[in-house]
């Protein structure tokens, strides 16, 4: 979940609707300036008893944040509490129940991305070892009920936790019990954004299948391969989903701005605090009719904040966010950006990927999205093509795209090796969740406590 890493609210007021649209255009960059941003979340647990630590307890989340300042991270304060860190590698922030997130810096190539991930994981492991904390790479807490989990002292989370049960049955699970990997990528123009949005939205369920890693709930199999993905189907229908208008003629910045104007608000940020605006209209805010800030019109920062409160499978800000993957181990943190960079950052690869999906109907997109949390690579795409076959074809395109980028490390390796974990998944036909279920039913003998050893960083 996107975090505000600054605590200032000063920004220009919005003069009109054109400024909302112009924000998206401000993200346009020539190809040589395209960058890769990678975010990943992980569960924090006590190594002694697998309990989720609270913020304030000795050796808890606050101490973990404090410990990382020894590596040059600067604290971000809200309400007297350290709630995030900023540094050369981006930002470290907290999800609602203490899930620990690295929002990486924008980088030129995947070698840098994986090195950044490695630095962060080595740092948190070193601090965690001193505190008796471990870190788990899964998409959903395998054995924790909501009541087992703490809540972090962040103003926006109190508002969201109150609002979520009013609009869906699984929103609290999304906030408290999920982890994801995300990739953020650039575009050159409105037309380039549209093509990348359509390709990535169509193929987001394939990423969900390849990274499916959440088959357990409260100590037993839940019937899904990606329960994290299923959760989004009943979180809040007005701010989630496959966005069928993206595939309609005429889609662009303006249409996405209209969508966001119709997404209900969560909050406004003023004078260092979050003001509850849950369910209210940003359109009313534009007209100075927001009940909780009567007479005020939004700042540009309010629009930026509001863009972070919609949760579709792909999200537009001044870049595109790929949001379909479960959390997972180190190698798959590097594999997700490799998958999307290979498809979207080379013109020939993007064209080839578009040819695979351009004839899919809106009904196809909705059916696939509904099936993939349970079926994973067994999902049937259009024309009878199963996702294992589709995955093989898409990985060939991504490999060609990465090879064409010709970004090499010091040993002369290009970026294609980062796709190896995904090639292994497609070759075996087993998602990560399938492998976990096989272990649970086999060598673990039904003892889910074994997952903490198997999936810890």
pLDDT above 90: residue 76: yes
Count of domains observed in the chain: 1
pLDDT band for 3, please (50, 70, 90 cuts): low
Q: What is the mean pLDDT of residues 49-75?
A: 98
- The reply to whether 23 falls in a domain is yes
Q: What is the mean pLDDT of residues 143-156?
A: 97
Q: What is the mean pLDDT of residues 354-361?
A: 97
User: pTM for this one?
Assistant: 0.97
pLDDT band for 383, please (50, 70, 90 cuts): confident
pLDDT at 12: 83
Q: What is the mean pLDDT of residues 221-240?
A: 98
pLDDT above 50: residue 345: yes
pLDDT at 7: 41
CATH, residue 248: 3.30.590.20
With helix as H, strand as E and coil as C, how does the chain read?
Answer: CCCCCCCCCCCCECCCHHHHHHHHHCCCCCHHHCCEEEEEEEEEEECCCCCCCCCCCCCCHHHHHHHHHHHCCEEEEECCEEEEEEECCEEEEECCCCCEEEECCCECCHHHHHHHHHHHHHHHHHHHHHHCEEEECCCECCCCCHHHCCCCCCHHHHHHHHHHHHCCCCHHHHHHHECEEEEEECCCCHHHHHHHHHHHHHHHHHHHHHCCCECEECCEECCCCEHHHHHHHHCCCCCEECCHHHHCCCCCHHHHHHHHHHCCCCEEEECCEEEECCCCCHHHHHCCCCCCCCCCCCEHHHHHHHHCCCEECEEECCCEEEEEEECCCHHHHHHHHHHHHHHHCCHHHHHHHHHHHCCCCHHHHHHHHHHHHHHHHHCECHHHCEHHHHHHHHHHHHHHHHHHHCCCCCCCCCHHHHHHHHHHHHHHCCCHHHHHHHHHHCCCCCCHHHHHHHCEC
- The reply to whether 9 falls in a domain is no
pLDDT at 410: 97
pLDDT above 60: residue 159: yes
Both structure tokens of 272 = 């260092």
- The reply to whether 455 falls in a domain is no
CA distance 133 to 121: 13
- The reply to whether 355 falls in a domain is yes
Using a pLDDT cut of 90, give the percent of the chain over it.
96
- The reply to whether 303 falls in a domain is yes
Domain range for 206: 17-448
Q: What is the mean pLDDT of residues 71-86?
A: 97
- If we measure between CA atoms, which residue out of 443, 442, 436 comes closest to residue 222? 436
pLDDT above 50: residue 126: yes
pLDDT above 60: residue 170: yes
- The reply to whether 6 falls in a domain is no
- State phi, psi for 72 to the nearest 5 degrees: 95, 0
Using a pLDDT cut of 70, give the percent of the chain over it.
98
Alpha carbon 130 to chain centroid, angstroms: 29
pLDDT at 4: 52
Q: What is the mean pLDDT of residues 82-101?
A: 98
Q: What is the mean pLDDT of residues 96-105?
A: 98
pLDDT at 335: 98
- The reply to whether 176 falls in a domain is yes
Render pLDDT for 188-215 as a digit per residue (tens, 0 to 9). Answer: 999 999 999 999 999 999 999 999 999 9
Report which of residues 303 and 10 the model is more confident about.
303
Q: What is the mean pLDDT of residues 357-366?
A: 97
pLDDT above 50: residue 8: no
- The reply to whether 8 falls in a domain is no
Residue 24 neighbours by CB under 8 Å, 6+ apart: 190, 193, 253, 256, 257, 316, 317, 318
Q: What is the mean pLDDT of residues 86-112?
A: 98
pLDDT at 10: 65
Render pLDDT for 414-444 as a digit per residue (tens, 0 to 9). Answer: 999 999 999 999 999 999 999 999 999 999 9
pLDDT band for 384, please (50, 70, 90 cuts): confident
Q: What is the mean pLDDT of residues 226-250?
A: 98
Q: What is the mean pLDDT of residues 17-36?
A: 98
Contact indicator for 27, 186 with CB cutoff of 8 Å: yes
pLDDT band for 306, please (50, 70, 90 cuts): very high
pLDDT above 60: residue 278: yes
Residue 11's Cβ-side half-sphere holds a number of Cα atoms within 13 Å equal to 18
Q: Please, what is the average pLDDT of the chain?
A: 96
């Amino acid at each position: 979940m996107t975090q505000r890493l600054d605590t200032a609210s000063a920004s220009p007021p919005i003069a009109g609707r054109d400024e909302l649209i112009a924000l998206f255009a401000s993200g346009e960059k020539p190809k040589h300036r395209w960058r890769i941003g990678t975010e990943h979340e992980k569960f924090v647990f006590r190594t002694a008893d697998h309990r989720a630590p609270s913020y304030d307890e000795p050796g808890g989340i606050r101490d973990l944040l404090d410990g990382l300042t020894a590596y040059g991270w600067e604290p971000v304060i809200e309400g007297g509490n350290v709630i995030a860190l900023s540094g050369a590698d981006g930002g470290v922030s907290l999800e609602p129940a203490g899930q620990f997130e690295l929002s990486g810096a924008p980088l030129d190539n995947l070698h840098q991305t994986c090195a950044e991930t490695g630095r962060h994981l080595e740092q948190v492991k070193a601090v965690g070892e001193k505190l008796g904390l471990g870190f788990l790479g899964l998409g959903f807490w395998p054995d924790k009920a909501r009541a087992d989990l703490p809540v972090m002292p962040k103003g926006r989370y109190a508002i969201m936790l109150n609002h979520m049960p009013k609009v869906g049955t699984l929103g609290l699970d999304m906030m408290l019990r999920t982890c994801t990997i995300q990739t953020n990528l650039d575009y050159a123009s409105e037309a380039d954004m549209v093509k990348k949005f359509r390709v990535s939205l169509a193929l987001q369920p394939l990423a969900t299948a390849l990274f499916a890693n959440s088959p357990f709930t409260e100590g037993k199999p839940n019937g899904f391969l990606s329960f994290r993905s299923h959760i989004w189907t009943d979180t809040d229908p007005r701010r989630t989903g496959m966005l069928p208008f993206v595939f309609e003629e005429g889609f662009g910045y303006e249409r996405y701005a209209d969508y966001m104007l119709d997404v209900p608000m969560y909050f406004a940020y003023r004078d260092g605090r979050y003001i509850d605006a849950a369910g209210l209209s940003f359109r009313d805010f534009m007209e100075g009719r927001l009940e909780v800030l009567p007479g005020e019109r939004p700042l540009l920062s309010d629009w930026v904040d509001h863009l972070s409160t919609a949760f579709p499978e792909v999200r537009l800000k001044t870049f595109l966010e790929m949001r379909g993957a479960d959390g997972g181990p180190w190698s798959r943190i590097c594999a997700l950006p490799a998958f999307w960079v290979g498809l979207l950052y080379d013109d020939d690869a993007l064209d080839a990927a578009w040819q695979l999906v351009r004839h899919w109907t809106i009904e196809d997109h909705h059916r696939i999205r509904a099936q993939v949390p349970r079926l994973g690579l067994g999902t049937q795409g259009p024309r009878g093509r199963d996702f294992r076959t589709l995955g093989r074809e898409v990985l060939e395109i991504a490999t060609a795209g990465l090879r064409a980028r010709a970004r090499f490390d010091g040993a002369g390796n290009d970026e294609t090796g980062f796709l190896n974990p995904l090639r292994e998944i497609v070759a075996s036909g087993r998602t990560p969740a399938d492998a976990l279920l096989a272990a649970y039913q086999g060598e673990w003998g039904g003892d889910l406590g074994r997952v903490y050893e198997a999936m810890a960083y």
